[in-house]
């Protein structure tokens, strides 16, 4: 894998891989550990173990929060990823304080990515689309129809990034960029019936 560098701990040599990532899900593992599903920029969707992160004295405890944007360093050993270090860049869920609708959309889009992404495979387009959409939700605080349209646009781009949307010319304006702009959200509103129908039919065709 690209992007790693080697460090030595006593006798064995481990390669540490550093990348940006979005923590999509976390679950307790053992007495003090947690397991994380992290969608990373460089390596796709990874399952990684955080050792002793539930202990009060753990330095990683507050960096590894669900729906957070992080710089994470990982070690691959015995078929498993282990988290070596993590720096919190943005806690999206916390930053959405008071934005109930945005939190619901954040959870649904992250669940969609978990549903559709199969295995470890770099997909920078998907990562950029997901990150751009979440930042728009957090920073622009869309409401009403605009909030709903952000979810539709994000879903379209997730499907397109994974090859499920097809190449119909009608969707090009929505998928050729990862930026979220007011005019695109207005176009989504004008075509919302067709957009929703396409999203639902594409999801059915994935059989996932």
Residue 207 pLDDT level (bands cut at 50, 70, 90): confident
Average pLDDT over residues 21-46: 95
- 132's tokens: 């751009």
Question: Hey, where are the domains in the chain?
Answer: 4-92, 96-206
∠ CA 85-87-89, rounded to 5°: 155
pLDDT value at 96 more than 50: yes
- 36's tokens: 């994380």
Residue 12 pLDDT level (bands cut at 50, 70, 90): low
Average pLDDT over residues 51-68: 92
35-39, 52-56, 104-108: the lowest-pLDDT one? 52-56
CA distances from 146 to 96, 128, 184 (A): 16, 20, 10
pLDDT given at position 125: 96
pLDDT value at 132 more than 70: yes
- Domain 4-92 is in which class? mainly beta
66: left (phi over 0), alpha (psi -120 to 50) or beta: beta
CA–CA separation, 42 vs 1, rounded Å? 9
Average pLDDT over residues 104-118: 96
pTM: 0.90
pLDDT value at 126 more than 50: yes
Contacts of 27 (CB under 8 A, 6+ apart): 34, 35
């Amino acid at each position: 894998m690209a992007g790693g560098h080697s460090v030595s701990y006593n006798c064995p040599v481990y390669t540490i891989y550093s990348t940006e990532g979005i923590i999509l899900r976390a679950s307790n593992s053992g007495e003090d550990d947690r397991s994380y599903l992290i969608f990373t920029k460089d390596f796709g969707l990874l399952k990684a173990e955080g050792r002793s992160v539930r202990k009060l004295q753990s330095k990683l405890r507050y960096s590894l929060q669900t729906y957070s944007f992080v710089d994470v360093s990982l070690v691959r050993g015995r078929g498993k990823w282990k988290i070596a270090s993590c720096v919190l860049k943005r806690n999206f869920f916390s930053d959405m304080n008071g934005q109930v609708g945005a939190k619901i959309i954040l959870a649904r889009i992250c669940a969609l990515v978990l549903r559709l992404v199969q295995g470890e495979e770099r997909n920078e387009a998907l990562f950029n689309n997901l990150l751009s959409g979440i930042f728009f939700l957090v920073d622009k605080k869309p409401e009403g129809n605009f909030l709903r349209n952000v979810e539709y646009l994000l879903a379209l781009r997730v499907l397109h990034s994974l090859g499920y949307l097809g190449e119909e010319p009608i969707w090009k304006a929505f998928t050729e960029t990862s930026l979220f702009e007011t005019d695109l959200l207005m176009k989504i509103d004008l075509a919302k019936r067709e957009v929703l129908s396409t999203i639902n039919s594409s999801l059915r065709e994935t059989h996932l």
